[in-house]
Amino acid sequence: MTFSCLETSSFVAFIADNSANGIHRSGYNGLSSLIPRHTGNNLFVPAYAGLNYETISLAGLEPYRHEHGSKFEPRSEPMFIESADEESVVLVQPETSHSHVSARITFTVKEPHYIHQKIELTFHRRFCPDEEPNQFRSLWASYMHGPPDRHIYSKPDLETGADLVHWYGITKTDHGSPEMQVKLMPQEEISAAGHLAAMAETPLLTDDELTALAQPEWGPMALPKSLDGMLSFYYGLCHDQMVLMMFKQPERFRLAYSPCGGGTQPEWNPAWDYVLALEDAPLEETCTWDLCLVTKPYMGRADVLREVRRYVTT
């Protein structure tokens, strides 16, 4: 097992390949730990990880099955840390045996509270007829460590309405639930604790109410029967920290979510996940996805939007 450490004035992060080491389980890669300096508590489930390369799905490709039964190809195939310094770590997975995808994943930290992830994938084989698009999806999982508030929050269209309008809280009742539960957030600033109180007091939007929302205000990102729209950002609250995920190419990202993907004992550990998406993956060309994780005390939704707008314009 290889661990590499990255630090800022706000946190200490450990990057892992997909082998086991102590409590950290085999198959989980990426951010094995993200520990704010003022708390000492890992934001991710210690046995698992965050920003974890989990699955590969290509049009026409049969499901992966490891000889020991695993269905998670990136977690089972060889992976190693190629290089590391004080600011960045490069994690590499050579061409895999089943889907024939190779990966180069670079983690870079910036002061005071930023972790950038650059994902570079190369597709070496197609599995569908030439006349059909080579559609690709890949789930990247972040197993959060027992946050009291399991919701994630987003404003799907940054440019529609005032800054505190058209925000939604999103969750599910269970891992296997087919539909999201969506609630409208208050149109005034609320504290971190106020999020959970607001979600408890606010009724669910009905299917008719969701469908009636104008597309620019909501879009398909979390309509009850669809998770297949572009994703710009979302945030959640893990104890006293905000965890904000921002996506540089929203057309290449989708939302995935489980309220208990990281287990239910001794508390529910939600999975705040994202999916990489290409509608027609090219062969032997490197495709890139860029995202940024921000972790800091919650300072309001206006601050969230400042972070997002700064990121998408740089």
Share of the chain above pLDDT 90, in %: 76
From the number of C-beta atoms within 10 Å of its C-beta (0-12, 13-18, 19+), residue 112 rates as exposed
5 has pLDDT over 90: yes
In which band, very low, low, confident or very high, does the pLDDT at 229 lie, cut at 50, 70 and 90?
Answer: confident
In which band, very low, low, confident or very high, does the pLDDT at 232 lie, cut at 50, 70 and 90?
Answer: very high
Give me 225's structure tokens. Answer: 């029967």
- Hunting for tokens 């945030």 — which residue is that? 235
Q: Is the peptide bond before 266 cis (omega within 30 degrees of 0)?
A: yes
Give the number of domains in the chain: 1
C-alpha distances in angstroms, 216 versus 90, 221, 229? 37, 11, 12
Contact yes or no for 9/86 (Cβ under 8 A): no
Give me 125's structure tokens. Answer: 């084989």
Residue 222: predicted pLDDT: 40
81 has pLDDT over 70: yes
From the number of C-beta atoms within 10 Å of its C-beta (0-12, 13-18, 19+), residue 137 rates as middle
In which band, very low, low, confident or very high, does the pLDDT at 216 lie, cut at 50, 70 and 90?
Answer: very low
CATH code for the domain of 248: 2.70.98
* Cα gap 84→146, rounded to integer Å: 30
Chain segment 237-290, per-residue pLDDT in tens: 998 899 999 999 999 999 999 999 999 998 999 999 999 999 999 999 999 999
What is the domain range of residue 177?
3-312
- Residue of 210 and 171 predicted with greater confidence: 171
Contact yes or no for 236/144 (Cβ under 8 A): yes
179 has pLDDT over 80: no
In which band, very low, low, confident or very high, does the pLDDT at 206 lie, cut at 50, 70 and 90?
Answer: confident
First-to-last CA distance in the chain?
35
> Letter for the amino acid at 286?
T
For 252-265, b/e burial (b = at least 16 CB within 10 A) is bbbbbbbbbbbeee
Per the DSSP assignment, residues forming a β-bridge with 102 are 122
- What is residue 295's three-state secondary structure? strand
Contact yes or no for 111/87 (Cβ under 8 A): no
From the number of C-beta atoms within 10 Å of its C-beta (0-12, 13-18, 19+), residue 73 rates as buried
> Which element (helix H / strand E) includes 305?
helix 301-312
Contact yes or no for 47/26 (Cβ under 8 A): no
Residue 220: predicted pLDDT: 39
Q: What is the mean pLDDT of residues 87-98?
A: 97
* Cα gap 147→229, rounded to integer Å: 26
Share of the chain above pLDDT 70, in %: 93
Q: What is the mean pLDDT of residues 165-182?
A: 87
Give me 146's structure tokens. Answer: 């027992």
* Cα gap 133→103, rounded to integer Å: 21
138 has pLDDT over 90: yes
Edge-to-edge order in the sheet of strand 11-16: 3-7, 11-16, 30-36
